[in-house]
Structure 1
Amino acid sequence: MDLLALADFNLVARHGGFGRAARESGRPKATLSRRVADLERGLDLRLFERGARALKLTEEGRALHERTTVLLTELEETAAAIASGGDAPRGSLRVSAPLLFSQAAMGKLAAQFALRYPEIRLEVTTEDRAVDMVEEGYDLVIRVNPDPDARLVGRIFMRDRLVVVASPHLRRPAGRATVPAVARGKGPGDATASWEYTGPSGKKRIEVEHALRLSSLFMVRDAVRAGVGAARLPLSLVAGDVAAGTLAHWGDVEGPEIALWALYPSRRLLSSRVSTFLDFLKEAFPTGSPEELASFMD
């Protein structure tokens, strides 16, 4: 197989068209088109569906793109490392991370990583949606409790859990008294709800009335600090306040754990950049506990 033609095919697939690939790479559009056509003839496969205005990968083209793009990147990096006489990881590393983790730790993490590995060009995008790693060109994604995906492998690097916290000045409920609460995001029409948690005296169920709704968990925490009401928040976000006595820990919310995963497309073709970043995460959070993340944010 012609590796140059394969590289041109991946270039066109990544940019979604011959024109855009030509502009981004500075290569002639006609050359890219000819190389891809030669590759299709050599494989006896149609790799693109060519419409009047759009270019779309066929099923075979998508499979070829997914299986070869990482391999070609590794070949390029290996050649560059040999040519420079070094073996330090280099090249671009695109990471997608969820909003809360990015706000809490990603800025500090990215800065430390960039200082230690200046040959790696790190780019971090913050979003909570499930990105398509191959189509959108990400090398690694960080996600909270992701759905299973046969195309991805990964590892848990952080575990967290929800706790009920409030200002020390907010009296804990007795009997069927209603407690003011701060919630994240939009809620149902009914402003009241029931919370269950396990405290020092065992399981407890309380009625809450949402006094305030906010779009960010950091905003929720600040409102709870100000005494607006109680809230259910990740322990990592409030562990410092609980330890300092600025927030009271009423109890732990039962339910599935909050697990942060680092996901990547292939274990067999794991790039040196991704491997380096995974090792860096493990070094930053050796036990992966919520208290560890809280300490990292200080």
Structure 2
Amino acid sequence: MDLLALADFNLVARHGGFGKAARAAARPKATLSRRVAELEASLDVRLFERGARALKLTEEGRALFERTAILLTELDETAAAITSRGHAPRGRLRISAPLLFSQIAMGRIAAGFAIKFPEIRLEVTTEDRAVDMVEEAYDLVIRVNPAPDDALVGRAFLQDRLVAVASPDLPRSADTPVPAVVRGAIGQRQTWELATASGKANLQVDPILGLSSLVMVRDAVRAGAGVARLPLSLVSHDLLAGTLVHWGDVEGPGTALWALYPSRRLLSARVSAFLDHLKETFPKGTPEELAAYSAW
């Protein structure tokens, strides 16, 4: 199999078309089309369905892309590691991070990393969905409480926990449901299990406001709309200032932020440098540490 033709096929598959791939790599479109056609002929399979306006991987093309993209990346990164031994990491680093963490901390983290490693071209996108690292060409993803995945490995670098908070002016009743602000769609009345200083307690709530981001939820709670369950890191300064009051810790597993990368991929110097940067930024990995960092 022609390795160069295979690399050109991966380039076209990653960018979703010959034109986009040609512009990204500064290569002639006709050359890429010819190389992919030669690869298809050598394998005796069609790798792309060529429509009038769209290019789509066939089942065989998708299987080839999924199995060879990581291998080609490892070859590139191995070559880069050998040629740059003793030098600072360089090249492109693509990261996907969740919305809340991006809003409160990622800008400053990325800036510090870019200053420390000027030869790395860092790109960060905000995604709450679980992106496909291979197909979307990400080197590292940050996820909240990720499900076990044999294809990914990594480390938890921050811990957080949910707390029930409200405005000091919001009355709390043991007999009637309390208005609540929730993330997402409004559902039926709920019972929240809380751990308080005096023991466990059940709080009856009536969701009256649904918002799409936790920052919006916090702002609505500050304004007195209701009680909400929010990460401690997001509200610790409000609790210290008295603009919000703590009604209890939410029972259940805590929240962990993980940095993940493909298990079969050689850990590049760029990814390793970013993991070290996260560890240096949050040496303890506590909610209070994240709160102090985001208040800068």
Q: From the superposition, tell whether residues 81 and 245 of structure 1 become closer, same or farther in structure 2 (CA, over 3 Å).
A: same
Greater shift in the superposed pair: 224-233 or 137-146: 224-233
Tell me what 2:110 maps to.
Answer: 110
Paired with 1:81 and 1:195, the residues of 2 have a C-alpha distance of: 52
Is residue 277 of structure 1 aligned with residue 281 of structure 2? Answer: no
Whole-angstrom distance in 2 between the partners of 1:241 and 1:251: 15
Alignment partner of 1:235 is 2:232: yes
Which residue of the partner structure matches residue 11 of structure 1?
Answer: 11
Q: 1:281 to 1:237 in 2, by over 3 A?
A: same
Query: Given the superposition, is the C-alpha separation of residues 222 and 55 from structure 1 closer, same or farther in structure 2, using an over 3 Å criterion?
Result: closer
Output the CA distance in 2 between the equivalents of 1:64 and 1:71. Answer: 11
CA distance in 1, matches of 2:255, 2:81: 39
Aligned to 1:295: 292
Q: Which residue of 2 aligns with 1:170?
A: 170
After TM superposition, the structure 1 stretch with the greater mean CA deviation from structure 2, 193-202 or 15-24, is: 15-24
Q: Which residue of 1 aligns with 2:219?
A: 222
- Aligned-pair distance for 1:96? 1.2
The residue aligned with 1:25 is 25
Separation of aligned partners in 2, 1:73 and 1:50? 25
Q: Does 1:207 align with 2:207?
A: no
Q: Is the 8 A contact 1:197 1:254 kept in 2?
A: yes
Bigger mean CA offset, 194-203 vs 143-152? 143-152
Paired residues of 1:77 and 1:90 also in contact (CA < 8 A): no
Residue 138 of structure 1 is matched in structure 2 by: 138
**Amino acid corresponding to residue 233 of structure 2 in structure 1:** S
Q: Deviations over 1:107-144 (max 9, x none)?
A: 11111111111111111111212222111121111122
Q: Offset at 1:217?
A: 1.4
By how many angstroms is 1:38 displaced?
3.9
For 1:39 and 1:277, how far apart are their aligned partners in 2?
36
SS of 1:133's equivalent in the other structure is: coil
Are 2:179 and 1:180 equivalent residues in the alignment?
yes
Equivalent in the alignment of 1:49:
48
- Quote how far apart the aligned CAs of 1:101 are: 1.1
Indicate the SS of the match to 2:135: helix
Please name the residue that 1:258 is paired with. 255
Are residues 1:198 and 2:191 paired?
no
Q: 1:285 to 1:255 in 2, by over 3 A?
A: same
AA paired with 1:89? Answer: P
Distance 2:81 2:268 in 1: 13
TM-score relative to the length of structure 1: 0.86
Q: Secondary structure at the match of 1:31?
A: helix
CA distance 1:40–1:104, shift in 2 (3 Å): same
1:20-169 equivalences under 5 Å are: 20-40=20-40, 44=43, 46=45, 48-53=47-52, 54-73=54-73, 75-76=75-76, 87-169=87-169
For the residue of structure 1 that corresponds to 2:134, the secondary structure is helix
SS of residue paired to 2:11: helix
User: What letter matches 1:21 in structure 2?
Assistant: A
- Mapped to 2, the partners of 1:196 and 1:268 lie a distance apart of 42
Native 8 Å contact 1:181 1:209 kept in 2: yes
After alignment, is 160-169 or 74-83 more displaced? 74-83
What CA distance in whole angstroms lies between the structure 2 residues aligned with 1:156 and 1:80? 27
- Report if the CA contact (8 A) 1:165-1:231 is conserved: yes
**Separation in 2, partners of 1:56, 1:185:** 34
Partners of 1:195 and 1:208 within 8 A in 2: yes
Aligned residue in 1 for 2:244: 247
- The one-letter amino acid paired with 1:93 is L
TM-score by length of 2: 0.86
CA spacing shift, 1:119–1:73, aligned 2, 3 Å: farther
Paired residues in the alignment total 294
Measured in 1, the distance between the counterparts of 2:75 and 2:37 equals 23
Summarize the Cα distance change of 1:132–1:17 in structure 2 as closer, same or farther, 3 Å threshold. Answer: same
Deviation at 1:12, TM superposition (A): 1.5
Percent identity of equivalent pairs? 70
Closer, same or farther: CA 293–48 of 1 in aligned 2, 3 Å: same
**Gapped runs of 5+ residues in structure 2?**
none
CA distance in 1, matches of 2:132, 2:269: 21
Distance between the aligned counterparts of 1:185 and 1:230, measured in 2? 15
State whether residues 77 and 91 of structure 1, in contact with CA within 8 Å, keep that contact through their aligned partners in structure 2.
no
